[in-house]
Structure 1
C-alpha cells in the first residue's frame, strides 16, 4: 500500500489495511478485526507517513542503536493481527506484554480485555516506554501499566497472567514467564531455534508449554538475554555469514573459504509454484537434524559465489568442513513456470550431503501443505525419558518438535 494507494484518510487506509490482512487469513477473530479497524495506528507512529503506517506488510523502525541497527520497531500489521489471533484474549483477562514498542499493541490489548488496568507492558529501554506512555495517554489508554525493566524477568507484581505476549524475539522461554502464566493460560512468543523464528502460541499444561500454531516471523531480539545464536563470516570479504546455535557442533574456521572450493549441485525433482513456500522444509529438518543452520548472504554477492534460494535468511547444513545450502532454478512445466528445489555443496562430503538434502525435499513435498509440527517446551531439568522426542536444549528449556504422523518425521542424522 504505497504508490498505488488512492485513498488518503486514516479511516480509509485502516479499512484497506484490515481488508488485506483478512485476505491472507489473519484477523479472523471478529474482536481482533474490530480493534484494528477502530484504533488510530498513526497516533502511535507520528513520524511515519500514513501509507507507511498502514502498510499491512511493513514494520516501522522507531528507535535505532548508534550503529544504525533497529532497537525498537512497530511490527507489521499482519503480524500484529496474527499474534492477537493466536493470543485469544477475552474480556476480563489479565495480560502481560514483553516489549512495549510504540504502545499500539498495548492499546489493542486494553480494548480486547475491556480495561486498560488489566494490561501491563514492559520494556528495558526507557526511551521506548516513555514514548509508549505518551501515546497511550494521548489516545485515552493511560491506565495501561507501562514498566521500564528487564522483560526476561516478567513482572510479578500483577501475576498471574491469563495471557502473555512477547513482541521481541527471545532465544529461550525464561522461567519467570512460565511461573507468572496462569494454569491453562496462553503465551505467544516469536521463539528461535536452528536459524529461524516462529511465533508460537503455547498453552500452559503445568509441566510443559504446548503449541497449537506456528507462524514464520522476525523480531528485534530480546535485550539482556544470554544469546544462544552465534555467527561468523565464511568468506574473506565477510559478505556471507553462517549463523548457528550454541549447542551445535559447527566449526566456522573449517568452513571459511569453503565457497571458493568446487561446487556440486544436485536437483531434487520437486517443484513449487510461484506462491508456494519452502519454509516448512526448514522447520521439518529442525526436528532431528543438528546440522541445520542458516546463511546470511548480502545482496551484492555474485551468484557464482553463492546461489541460494531468494530471501534474507537461507537454510544450510554444516558438517565439519562441508557446507550445503538450498537452491532453486526455474523450470517450465507446460504453460507454468515453477521452481525446482536443489542443493549446492562445497567440501569433501558435498556429494553425500547434497543428496541427503534432496531426499529430505522429496520426503517433505507430499505433505507440505499440512506440514506443521507441535512445539512442546519443557523445563530444562526434564529428563529425556519424559520428552516426546529429540530435544533442542536451551538454558531454561528443552524444545521438542513432533508431527502427528510419524511418517512425516525425518530420520535422525
Structure 2
C-alpha cells in the first residue's frame, strides 16, 4: 500500500531499527505459534506501526504476540475496548482468506486491525470499520491518519449490529468483538459465498468462527479458541455471574449464558463438602489444548456453565482448576462437578477427569468422565460443523445436533 504524504510509509526513514526489529520478532513468533501462514498477511504485520496506537507503551509490549492492552472499561469494571493481541488479529485475518481488491467490513474498531486489513486487501481494496463508541473511532481515525491508511479505510461511528449498508456488499466481514448472535444485517450485507469471521459465544464458550454464506444460512469453515470484549449496543448480550463463594479475592462463580439460574446457596454448601474424583483414562499432551473436549461437553450436556475462579481460590484449595476462559461445570440442584486433569507417568502428558461436590457430586463427576470418553472414542479426530439459520426456521429444516436459540438466529453444532 502506498501511504499519503506526511504519514509513516512502509519503509520510512523515521522507522527506527528497534521498531522494525520488534515487528520482525513479532512476525517470527506468530509464525512459530501457527497464527501466520499467508506471506501477504505476514508482510502486513511487518509493515503496520501498531505501537503508534499505544502511546507510552513499551515497544516490547506493543509488539508482544499475546499482548492485548485494554483501552477502556465501563462503570462496572468490564473491559469494553481493547487492542486485540497480534496473535488473535493474525488468526482472524488468516480465517478471512482476504484477496487483493476485496471490499471488507470490520465490526469493532481501533485502527490497527483495519490497517492490517487494508494492507492485505491492497490499493484496490476497501475497508469500512464501524464502532459504537466515538472515543474508539476517534482513536482509530487518528491512528489511520498518522500512518496513511485513511485513504483506504472509512471509519464510521455507528452500532455495528446494523453493519454499514451504504458501502455493502462486502466480500468479507471481520468482527472483533464477542457476539452472542448474528444480526440479519451481517448476513444480508455479505456477498454470496463471502466469509464472516466472528467471535461467537455459544453457551458461554467463545470461538472465532469462519462462516461462509450459503443463501440464508452460514456454514462454518473452521474455528479457533479466542477471547474478546463483549459487543455493545442493540446486540449486547452479556453473561451473568452466580457467585458460589464470595470471600474477597477468592471469588468463585458460574458464568450463565442461557443456563438455568442455579441454587447458589446450595452450591455454596456443596463447595464446603469433601471433593470426590473420577478419572477418564483420556490423556492429552502438555501442549495439546482441551478446547475441543470442552466444546464436546458443551454440546452433549445441558446444564454446563463455566466456573470462573480467582487464583487465590485455587491456592487455598477451594477448587483445583482455574482458567481465565472458565472451566466446564455440570450442575444439578445442590451438586456440581468440573473438569480437571492430573499428570501421568508419561512425560508431559495429563489425564482428564472431574471433581465433584455435593450429594450428587460423584454421579456428576462420572457423567462428565463418560462424555470425555465418548469424545475420545468418537470425536477426537473430528471437528464439528456450526451452522447459523434465521430465527423461525422449523426444527425439521435444521441439522441434528446441539441447538442454541438466539433472538435473530438458530445456531446448530453438529459433530460427525
Normalising by structure 2, what TM-score?
0.89
Identify unmatched segments of 5+ residues in structure 1: 1-6, 405-413
For residues 171 and 267 of structure 1, what CA distance do their matches in structure 2 show? 33
- Pairwise CA distance, 1:197: 0.7
- Pairwise CA distance, 1:237: 2.4
Instruction: Specify the alignment match of 1:359 in structure 2.
Output: 370
Instruction: Specify the alignment match of 1:49 in structure 2.
Output: 58
- Pairwise CA distance, 1:259: 0.7
Q: 1:13 to 1:127 in 2, by over 3 A?
A: same
40, 58, 78: which one aligns with 2:87: 78
Aligned 8 A contact 2:101 2:124 in 1: no
Secondary structure (helix, strand or coil) at the match of 1:173 reads coil
1:119-157 deviation digits (Å, cap 9, x = unpaired) = 111111111100100110111112311111111111111
361, 371, 376: which one aligns with 1:350: 361
Instruction: Specify the alignment match of 1:212 in structure 2.
Output: 221
Identify unmatched segments of 5+ residues in structure 2: 1-15
For residues 65 and 276 of structure 1, what CA distance do their matches in structure 2 show? 35
333, 336, 345: which one aligns with 1:320: 333
Secondary structure (helix, strand or coil) at the match of 2:92 reads helix
7, 29, 32: which one aligns with 1:20: 29
Provide the aligned C-alpha RMSD in A: 2.0
Aligned 8 A contact 1:187 1:202 in 2: yes
For residues 181 and 126 of structure 2, what CA distance do their matches in structure 1 show? 26
241, 250, 258: which one aligns with 1:231: 241
- Pairwise CA distance, 1:394: 1.0
For residues 288 and 272 of structure 1, what CA distance do their matches in structure 2 show? 20
Aligned 8 A contact 1:287 1:400 in 2: no
Instruction: Specify the alignment match of 2:381 in structure 1.
Output: 370
Q: 1:167 to 1:343 in 2, by over 3 A?
A: same
Instruction: Specify the alignment match of 1:298 in structure 2.
Output: 310
1:12-45 deviation digits (Å, cap 9, x = unpaired) = 1111111111112122112111111122121222
Instruction: Specify the alignment match of 2:293 in structure 1.
Output: 281
- Pairwise CA distance, 1:310: 5.0
129, 133, 148: which one aligns with 2:137: 129
1:378-412 deviation digits (Å, cap 9, x = unpaired) = 111111101112311111111111123xxxxxxxx
Q: 1:367 to 1:137 in 2, by over 3 A?
A: farther
Instruction: Specify the alignment match of 1:409 in structure 2.
Output: none
Count of residue pairs the alignment pairs up:
394
Q: 1:364 to 1:59 in 2, by over 3 A?
A: same
For residues 32 and 325 of structure 2, what CA distance do their matches in structure 1 show? 25
- Pairwise CA distance, 1:323: 0.9
- Pairwise CA distance, 1:8: 7.0
Normalising by structure 1, what TM-score?
0.90
